[in-house]
Amino acid sequence: MATSTEIPETVALESVTEFSDEVDVVVIGFGIAGGCAAAEAAANGARVLLIERAAAAGGTTSLSGGFFYLGGGTAVQKATGQDDSPEEMEKYLTAVSIDPEVDKIHAYCVDSVDHFNWLEGLGFTFERSFYPEKAVIQPGTEGLMFTGNEKVWPFKDQAVPAPRGHKVPVPGETGGASLVIDLLVKRLGELGVEVRYETGARQLVVDSDGTVAGVTWKKPGEEGVIRATSVIIAAGGFVMNPEMVAEHTPHLAEKPFVLGNTYDDGLGLRMGRSVGAELKYMDKAFITAPIYPPASMVMGVIVNKFGERFVTEDSYHARTSGFIMEQPDSAAFLIVDESHMNPKQNYLIPLIDGWETIEEMERDLGIPEGKLQATMARYNENAAKKEDPDFHKAAEFLEPQDKGPWAAYDLSLGKAMYAGFTMGGMATSLDGEVLDESGSVIKGLYAAGASATNIAQDCKGYCSGTQLGEGSYFGRRAGRHAAAKVTSRA
């Protein structure tokens, strides 16, 4: 391919003289979405071939923390006394979405307990325990915690809050979901799905009426064409493609570290585009530099370079970051008094300095005179009454920041250590069929996981676990739908 933004040409079916394989369903990419799609297609009677460009399964899924966003009364929620219902989950996910796809959210919530059971049926058990702290990820293997904005205004008034971040029982910040990938490898083996590694999909094959009918592939020293009734693209996003990132999500291009696997180069999306797929939310990215833990930092006050508050500080970390990106120069400071300071250094958000007075801090931070002093005075006066009429911060995080000295942490883009990944992908139907810009189905083509758009749409509404959750759930739906086409014809 000449450039990494190039849309690959399609290959006409009638021009192909020889096929390396003829299958019902070919799945491109073995992360959570591709693995689940292949498993469900095979379990429903389709002949499935999965091609994976890397030498092993896993992709970005294997790097991930291992949260699955599930609810509506899962066994973990019940065992830990956390009330939830599909209705409240649906209200919440609808409220946090910028453009909710109501049919998808409804199905995801109604089927969530069943999907939880299916995941456990792969051969692991989410620990029946709850981690109550305000944290990015629990330090141990606790099975459940709050991983979104459920308890944050305005959402806390729109749906009854419930924790829904279910973590696979692997401690640590990364690598949790590799356990699920290992189990999917095993499951695909049991189902007789062939997985071909070091085999990269290149171009879609289309028949004379535009139906997608296969894919070309390449591996070191070999290439060929697979004929398939359905092609499922589950090849991840584009965070590792610098040109695409610069074009679509410039905040990610500028300073933060990107999070993804080598092959997150957007080729799956570009293959979809080659047959007219609509790409949605291409300008949206998950981007974050968490201010917590410890929770005491959430007691602090976040201001922009004019000394104004703009977000409730108890927001889920990516929501806070999303608001920071929108501030002038994407600049912001977290101000905390001595009694609430993090005793340890949080390397993600650098400590600028400490000051004996807010006045001196204001001057040194370059904030217009009097602005920060006024913001702090108002905040402290209200916090003393456990009130926040401006941003509705929860009472448990409201304590006056009035005992100097004061510390300021730099949350500005380029100063704090932001990390992120892209959120754009192909528009899809409830069953993962790829849609064109008129909303029509592109026959023969499906997309799932980070190659598709479903529930997670932007940084401000993101909750940890939605991508593994939706990748697995809608991946399964795509696999089932593709298999039904074949078996109904048989």
Q: What residue ranges bind ligand FAD (CB under 6 A)? A: 28-34, 51-54, 58-61, 63-67, 174, 200-201, 234-236, 259-261, 263, 267-268, 421, 449-451, 464-469, 471
Decide if 487 contacts 229 (C-beta within 8 A): no
Query: Cβ of residue 44: shortest distance to ligand FAD, in angstroms?
Result: 20
Cβ distance to ligand FAD smaller for residue 66 or 73: 66
Query: Cβ of residue 51: shortest distance to ligand FAD, in angstroms?
Result: 5
Burial of 101 (0-12, 13-18, 19+ CB in 10 A): buried
Query: Cβ of residue 309: shortest distance to ligand FAD, in angstroms?
Result: 29
Decide if 393 contacts 312 (C-beta within 8 A): yes
Cβ distance to ligand FAD smaller for residue 61 or 327: 61
Decide if 290 contacts 319 (C-beta within 8 A): no
Query: Cβ of residue 170: shortest distance to ligand FAD, in angstroms?
Result: 11
Helices (H) and strands (E) in the chain, counts: 13, 22
Query: Cβ of residue 32: shortest distance to ligand FAD, in angstroms?
Result: 4
Closest CA to 194 of 79, 52, 60: 52
Closest CA to 260 of 240, 233, 235: 240
Cβ distance to ligand FAD smaller for residue 267 or 331: 267
Cβ distance to ligand FAD smaller for residue 73 or 449: 449
Query: Cβ of residue 470: shortest distance to ligand FAD, in angstroms?
Result: 8
Decide if 192 contacts 49 (C-beta within 8 A): no
Close Cβ partners of 276 (under 8 Å, ≥ 6 residues apart): 436, 437, 442
Query: Cβ of residue 26: shortest distance to ligand FAD, in angstroms?
Result: 10
Decide if 42 contacts 188 (C-beta within 8 A): yes
Query: Cβ of residue 414: shortest distance to ligand FAD, in angstroms?
Result: 21
Closest CA to 205 of 68, 472, 13, 444: 13
Query: Cβ of residue 45: shortest distance to ligand FAD, in angstroms?
Result: 23
CA distances to 298, 324, 380, 391 from 384, rounded to whole Å, are 16, 26, 6, 15
Closest CA to 291 of 231, 336, 241: 336
Query: Cβ of residue 432: shortest distance to ligand FAD, in angstroms?
Result: 12
The phi and psi torsions of 340 (rounded to 5 degrees) equal: -110, 0
Instruction: Assign 214 to helix, strand or coil.
Output: strand
Query: Cβ of residue 448: shortest distance to ligand FAD, in angstroms?
Result: 7
Cβ distance to ligand FAD smaller for residue 224 or 405: 224
Q: Residue 184 belongs to what H/E stretch?
A: helix 178-191
Name the CA dihedral angle for 48, 431, 461, 73, rounded to a multiple of 10 degrees: -90
Neighbours of 114 (CB within 10 A): 12
Cβ distance to ligand FAD smaller for residue 73 or 237: 237
| Structure tokens given for 362 | 């204001």
Decide if 181 contacts 124 (C-beta within 8 A): no
Residue with tokens 């490898």: 185
| Structure tokens given for 185 | 């490898």
How far apart are the C-alpha atoms of 455 and 471, rounded to whole Å? 10
Cβ distance to ligand FAD smaller for residue 213 or 478: 478
| Structure tokens given for 52 | 């994976």
Say how many Å lie between the first and final Cα of the chain, rounded: 38
Query: Cβ of residue 36: shortest distance to ligand FAD, in angstroms?
Result: 8
